[in-house]
A and B are shown apart, each in its own frame.
Chain A
Amino acid sequence: MKHIKTLETRDYRESMKEGGCGECQTSCQSACKTSCTVGNQSCEHKEKK
């Protein structure tokens, strides 16, 4: 495309198919302890595959 550059992202709709396994890190355990950020976390399901 000439006018648009799309960054590589995970498609949320697709993630419904294999998501929800719960192996990922609990968001507050990472460093914050006062804020909830999940966008920065990795999917463990993908890593396992």
Chain B
Amino acid sequence: MNSPVMTSDHTLIEVDAREGAASAGNQRIVEAMNRRYDAGFVTDIETDSLAPGLDEGVVRWISRRKGEPEWMTEWRLAAYRHWLTMIPPEWAKLRIAPIDFQAISYFAAPKEGPKSLAEVDPKLLETYEKLGVPLHERARLAGVAVDAVFDSVSVGTTFRKELAAAGVIFCSMSEALREHPDLVRSYLGSVVPSSDNYFAALNSAVFSDGSFVFIPKGVRCPMELSTYFRINAINTGQFERTLIIAEEGASVSYLEGCTAPMRDENQLHAAVVELVALDDASIKYSTVQNWYPGDENGVGGIYNFVTKRGDCRGARSKISWTQVETGSAITWKYPSCVLRGDDSVGEFYSVALTHHHQQADTGTKMIHLGRNTKSKIIAKGISAGRGQNSYRGLVKIEKGAAGARNYTQCDSLLIGKQCGAHTFPYIEVKNPGAIVEHEATTSKISDDQMFYCRSRGIAEEDAVSLIVDGFCKQVFRELPMEFAVEAKKLLEVSLEGAVG
């Protein structure tokens, strides 16, 4: 992802102001960014960059650079030390080329973006056209930015005022650590501990930024929150950390990601998302992920290794995950719900598509602890080309979860001879009052369906997208409306060339 300014620890408005001041000195920034550093790190007034490599010094530097309190630095260091003792997970059905963690720069200033749309890859522009992305947004998404951002900046500012009036805190994680340190401290790592897994530990040590959302007691967030409009969240880099807290009776719908393809130089994204829902609160978290999937031959592309977990801490709380995963070379994510509060509800709706050489190992975990907790899992996997798509899920009913209920449905659709679709559900039940149901099917688009469509004059590709759309409908209708429309188009674009 390219962005013209260093944004990771500045608020939206600051970015704006800074850009104005620095525009004349753009050349200097570029020079500074292009400078080669032999070892260690360099601090520059205009821009900062870390040479590749990771040690305690790097972790301390990131923390200091962001002006974090002492406890935060220690928290990061503890995570880093724990990470050193861990080994990368190997259980997923993924072929992952070894990652050299010392070759990654953990705090890199953004690279220089194209100067105008004319310099942007025409293929990318073609895709925006098909997705119907508004013109001024195309430039921003392609990383042209600077002028084109202005609209969004003002939009963002308007949002902030309205949200502040409702008492909602919606800001970057860095800002939250400065403005609301106690709030962050009491919740950060409480859902995904820094030692949770290999990538979560790495994220805890080096995360650069992310979003922080706090909905106070009884407040229904007046609008759908989205990183899309928050300019400073866009270039939070490869290690994003999101924390959303809904207090008693609060509710919020949060949309992460973007339907347009993002060009990103980063190879590894290891994000962590933590959700906390107190009594009667509800959080809806929707993701549309379309990172660069690599080319037709499987070269390049993003490793998307994400830990997402929601804690239904309060009674009658509800957390709902919806995800549409079409991008990334490798996806490894399992948005989960810990159903701690009695009568709490967890939901997971997912569409995962793999084409060409993409691999996805995704699913969810529903951990039922409280009484009468309910969970529902709808997972749809589509494999095309040489794509490998796995659903991996755990439904665990603990002893105390009397009256717990789970329903899981996993369907896979195969398009082509060389793809694979796999289902690995784990069901563990320790309470005799629970009811757990799992069903899964795998099939290709039936010849009958195709023939029916073709006989009515529908072109082959259109027929496929029609059928795929029907296949995914249960998930799409959980998405906010405008994104459902885009998600549908996104599948069409992603499946291009899959048939015939």
Question: Is the pairing of A and B real?
Answer: no
B residues contacting A by CB (< 8 A) are: none
A residues contacting B by CB (< 8 A) are: none
